[in-house]
Amino acid sequence: MRILCLLFTSPVQHRGPEHMLKLVEEMTGKGNRVELFLLGDGVYNSSAALATKKGAPVVLALSQMRGIRITDCSTCAGMRGVDELIGNARLGTLEDLTEEMERADVILSYTGEE
């Protein structure tokens, strides 16, 4: 199954990224293909500057994950000054997001809202 996860929250202000990480690990472990698209403050989850044990553990864990595709909204990253990404992340556009949505069997969204 192809699963697209949309993440809108920062790794330092919310627990959503931690929950998403656990779910992604479970889903990939069961043979699912997972795509992670970061939007808004979610782009901080792939910031190379936070990929340290003292920075944000979620970012460090994501930087070491294999078997998932991580894409940052280029506009969101630019507006937030996130210019260096972890090695397994790339910049993308809303056109890329649209294509991912069309291919996905399931779309999960982590907004930080309750």
Q: Is 81 exposed, middle or buried (0-12, 13-18, 19+ CB in 10 A)?
A: exposed
* pLDDT on residue 107: 97
Distance CA 89, CA 19 (A): 19
Model-level pTM?
A: 0.92
Distance CA 5, CA 3 (A): 6
Percent with pLDDT over 70 in the chain: 96
**Angle at which helices 16-29 and 57-64 cross, to 10°:** 20
* pLDDT on residue 113: 61
Rounded to a whole number, what is the largest CA-CA distance in the chain? 37
* pLDDT on residue 1: 96
pLDDT digits (tens, 9 = 90+) for 35-83: 999 999 999 999 999 887 677 888 989 999 888 999 999 999 999 999 9
Starting from the edge strand earliest in sequence, which strands make up the sheet with 2-7, in order? 89-92, 68-73, 33-38, 2-7, 106-110
Q: Does the domain made of 2-110 have the CATH classification 3.90.230.10?
A: no
In the chain, where the domains are located: 2-110
Is 114 a residue whose pLDDT tops 60?
A: no
